[in-house]
Amino acid sequence: MDTLKIMQTAIRGRWAVAAIFLANGFLTGAWAPQIPVVLTRLEISKFTLGLLILLFGAGAVTAMTWCGHLISRHGSRTVLRWFGLIGSFGLLVVALAPNVPLAAIAMFIFGGSIGGMDVAMNANAVVVERRLSRAIMSSSHGFWSLGGFAGGALGGFAIQNYGHLAHAMVVTALAFAVIAVAVRYLIAEDRPQVTDYHKFALPGNPLVYLVGLMALLTMISEGAVLDWAALYLQQELGTDLAIAGLAYAAFSGVMAVMRFAGDGVRNRFGAVTTLRVSALVAAAGMLVAGLAPSPWLAISAFAFCGFGIANMVPILFSAGGNQEGMSSGTGMSVVTTMGYSGILVAPSAIGFIAEHSSFGPIFVALSGLLVVVFLMAGLAHRAEFAPDPAPAE
């Protein structure tokens, strides 16, 4: 295979994995407007709904934990095909569930398929980065944010006018079509011999767990803004709900834009420098948000925080997928599992603390966690690129 053909294959693989990030974000975003429907359709309490959502998270973490082992055996391309095609039906299965027990099973399966897909697509993005010797992780996450925005923005309108089941069917058809086309063009890493990975085992390199810890600290902050920023503005800064909703909108909007610009920044200044500066920017934004005397200053501060956080997770995922002595899938599995645990576990812990305190000091404390990421940024040096000399056919 000549150099030109190798590069063409890598470029097709780059856009294929971007399309799968888009589809994953679209499925996740489309789930959000379905949540109130589940509450009324199954006639359940908010507590029961919370348990169902927790099962979604449990399914995601379970799949993430095992996905690295599967990628080590079969390669990220094959595993992404499995989880991607199965995952496109996840929302439809939940929408069809007629009672709580079946909804619980459906939520666990949906979460597992989305979580496994998440690990595999990030691992495959690392393979593309190696092949191209340049960053594509941040823009890939930008496509995820774009898909999430589209899924969430269109979902409410579709459900209101056509019903939840029709919405789920259209989402499934669109996601399946995109994924079915994209998986044909994914590229593969050189797979280790299957006999070397005959059983599941946690990696022994402690560095991957430290990178995972940085992802955890970063995603705790991201989850806190997602779940509690609007309530903070409404209850403590005295604004109405319409204005309070702008906090996460500003945060996520700036983050999406910055993710598309982030690869160029990272290619120019390097992963470690970009991570250090991003962590400081995010910490400053979170600190000002926690101390803000007015809602508009808090909204601006959350947007500034999103500017910083945007490229922290993509860099940490690249570092996890490039750990020495392990496959990209194994390292990615550890980092994604630890990172997403922050979004799954932190919101309830923050809610408990807020009952006995207030949100302002919590956001100030979260800025301290981002400073810790700044101090640990040198551990992400594996996110820098070395060419992949032996591409797989």
pLDDT, tens digit, 9 for 90 and up, residues 40-50: 888 887 678 77
Residues 109-126, mean pLDDT to the nearest whole number: 89
Of 278-282, 310-314, 349-353, where does mean pLDDT reach its minimum?
Answer: 349-353
**What whole-number distance in Å separates Cα of residue 273 and Cα of residue 185?**
33
For 256, counting Cβ atoms within 10 Å of its Cβ (0-12 exposed, 13-18 middle, 19+ buried), the class is buried
**What whole-number distance in Å separates Cα of residue 248 and Cα of residue 218?**
16
Q: Provide the mean pLDDT of the chain.
A: 83
pLDDT at 147 over 80: yes
pLDDT in tens, 248-290: 778 878 888 888 888 888 888 888 999 999 999 999 999 999 9
Residue 354: pLDDT band with limits 50, 70, 90: confident
**What whole-number distance in Å separates Cα of residue 209 and Cα of residue 190?**
24
**What whole-number distance in Å separates Cα of residue 126 and Cα of residue 135?**
9
Q: Which two tokens stand for residue 61?
A: 């973490």
State the maximum Cα–Cα separation within the chain, in Å, rounded to a whole number: 65
- In this prediction, residue 313 carries a pLDDT of 87
Of 83-92, 160-169, 246-255, 368-377, where does mean pLDDT reach its minimum?
Answer: 246-255
pLDDT at 293 over 70: yes
**What whole-number distance in Å separates Cα of residue 170 and Cα of residue 322?**
37
pLDDT at 1 over 60: no
Backbone dihedral region for residue 148 (phi beyond 0: left; psi -120 to 50: alpha; all else: beta): alpha
